[in-house]
Amino acid sequence: MSETESQMESESPSESDSGSPSEPESTAGAESTAGADDAVTAVEQRIIDDAVSFAATVIEPQAERWERERRFAAEAFAALPDAGLTALLVPTELGGRGVGPVALARVLEELAAADLAAAFSVVVHNNMARAVATSGNDRLIAELLPRLVSGEVLGAFLLTEPDVGSDAAAISCSAEADGDEWVISGEKAWVTNASHAGALNVYAQTDPSAGHRGIVSIVVDPDLPGVTRLDRYELMGGHAMGTGGFAFDQVRVPRAETLVPVGRAFGAAMVGIDLARVLVGAMCSGIVRRSLEVAVRYTAGRSLFGSTVADKQGVQWMLADVATELEAMRLLTFRAARQLQEGGDATLTAAHAKKFAARKAQERIADCMQVMGAAGYRRDAGNPLPRHLAGARLTGYIDGATEIQNVVIARRLWDRPAGPLPS
Ligand SMILES: Cc1cc2nc3c(=O)[nH]c(=O)nc-3n(C[C@H](O)[C@H](O)[C@H](O)COP(=O)(O)OP(=O)(O)OC[C@H]3O[C@@H](n4cnc5c(N)ncnc54)[C@H](O)[C@@H]3O)c2cc1C
């Protein structure tokens, strides 16, 4: 036997000392924490552990059913308060958990490994609670915030409209001041948590000639006269997010429900965008990690042409590439998370992380399905990969489409004066 052959034999992934297929590592290819653990406090580690347990006991066993029934993950939201996951971004002095960006990314990575749609629903609710805690007036903090923290009401973020997505400053949903009330008219689209939301953070235009400076953000109760909860969307996947739209017809809301005033609301919507992009990177890492684990396990147990699928070098190399790109997406994601945690500018690093993770999740989950043969394509029989692939697809749109990340990155490439070639 040549040296190379002997080396290959000793490094075969599917043979244990006894010669029977070995049990794959439970976190195949994701043993490294990309330095994340160093930046997590003991309290935060317990919150991450709670998220792991919540994902395993609440999300994982029900996620496929939510998708099959094409409905919001109501059971997950009902169990969220007990798991302590409703107010992760609310300061502790206001009853929240005050989790930092690195630990938050770890929490979302774990939740998404069970189901990305359910995880994103949790993010949207937590963002609403954070917005009320940081921008709300005394009354909103006293009355609405405790209901968001306790999980009595579910939050939603309404910026996108049927005709306006990436160009968010061009929204046309209007808010007219009338005495001490706002009168809101228009339509909102692609609202995560729409089917069950009890508190809507609505972005509306007060003066179309003022562009983004005319935008205000108002808390709207969906039960007010004039508010219509539109039918939920039929999607490729991700129904656990309860995505749908709202129509507003001359809806009267007290001015005291203003969350962020005219002139500052659009900026406030963009304040958390870097963190949101980091969290998408983390969620992509979760679904790729879980898909790799499933593919490794399955290929080690199935035989063809005299050995296991995992014995085929083509398969080993395909999954080795998945493992490498999983490492890369985690490194980019947690680098950006650490920058945010240290108070640095993470706009560029978050854009890199989100773009890379969203693109690679789609490609690499498809690879994991491919090495499993037709079984990878099957939705039942305990295979979560089709659900994760659908989840990966939607990460190409949320919190700024992939092309918008390129706009951010390209802007930094050309943010210096033009000049001649170096001599
Ligand atoms: C499942 C899901 C949940 C969502 N949840 C929410 C939510 O809770 N709240 C909310 O407000 N929104 C939500 N969104 C909407 C999301 O923010 C938008 O889909 C996103 O902003 C893109 O807008 P659009 O889909 O209208 O695409 P458009 O803006 O119409 O863009 C069309 C295409 O053009 C590309 N493009 C844009 N600009 C450029 C450019 N300069 N150069 C090249 N290409 C470009 C885009 O990337 C996209 O591929 C959700 C979307 C999805 C899919």
Q: Is the CB of 398 under 6 A from ligand 1?
A: yes
Kindly give the number of the ligand 1 atom that is closest to the alpha carbon of 235.
1
**CA dihedral sign, ordered 22, 23, 29, 32:** negative
Task: Please indicate whether the domains covering 36-149 and 155-264 agree at the CATH topology level.
Answer: no
Q: What is the CATH number of domain 270-413?
A: 1.20.140.10
Q: What percent of the chain lies above the pLDDT cut of 90?
A: 88
121 lines ligand 1 (CB under 6 A): no
**What pLDDT digit, counting tens, does each position of 179-198 carry?**
999 999 999 999 999 999 99
pLDDT, mean over the chain: 92
For residue 192 and ligand 1, the question of a CB distance below 6 A is answered with yes
Say yes or no to pLDDT of 5 above 80. Answer: no
Q: Is the pLDDT of residue 7 over 50?
A: no
Fold of 36-149: Butyryl-Coa Dehydrogenase, subunit A; domain 1 (1.10.540)
Q: Using the predicted structure, report yes or no on whether residue 27 has a pLDDT greater than 70.
A: no
CATH architecture of 155-264: Beta Barrel (2.40)
pLDDT band at 31 (very low <50, low <70, confident <90, very high): low
Predicted confidence band at 423 (pLDDT cuts at 50, 70, 90)? confident
Cα 309 from Cα 318, distance rounded (Å): 12
pLDDT score at 32: 60
Pairwise CA distance, residues 90 & 350, whole Å: 22
Q: Is any atom of ligand 1 closer than 6 Å to the C-beta of 35?
A: no
**pLDDT surpassing 50 at residue 333:** yes
Q: Is the pLDDT of residue 312 over 80?
A: yes
In angstroms, what CA-CA distances link 30 with 85, 291, 296, 353, 361? 24, 11, 12, 17, 14
Q: By alpha-carbon position, which residue is closest to atom 42 of ligand 1?
A: 403
Nearest CA, atom 19, ligand 1: 397
Mean pLDDT of 230-243: 96
CA of 168 to the centre of ligand 1 (A): 9
Q: Separation of 401 CA from ligand 1 center, angstroms?
A: 5
The rounded distance, in Å, linking the Cα atoms of 308 and 14 is 8
Exposed, middle or buried: residue 134 (CB in 10 Å: 0-12, 13-18, 19+)? middle
57 Cα to the center of ligand 1, angstroms: 33
Ligand 1 center to residue 224 CA distance, Å? Answer: 28
Give pLDDT tens digits for 107-157.
999 999 999 999 999 999 999 999 999 999 999 999 999 999 999 999 999
CB 61 within 8 A of CB 32: no
Burial of 305 (0-12, 13-18, 19+ CB in 10 A): exposed
CA of 270 to the centre of ligand 1 (A): 15
Lowest mean pLDDT among 5-9, 120-124, 375-379: 5-9
**140, 261 contact by CB (below 8 A):** no
Ligand 1 pocket check for 243: Cβ under 6 Å: yes
Question: Ligand 1: which of 166, 188, 406 to mutate, most ligand atoms within 8 Å of CB?
Answer: 166
- Kindly report the pTM of this predicted structure: 0.93
Q: Residue ranges per domain, the chain?
A: 36-149, 155-264, 270-413
For residue 404 and ligand 1, the question of a CB distance below 6 A is answered with yes
Residues 6 or more apart in contact with residue 258 via CB below 8 angstroms: 137, 182, 216, 217, 218, 219
Q: Given the CA of residue 164, which atom of ligand 1 is nearest to it?
A: 26
238 Cβ below 6 A of ligand 1: yes
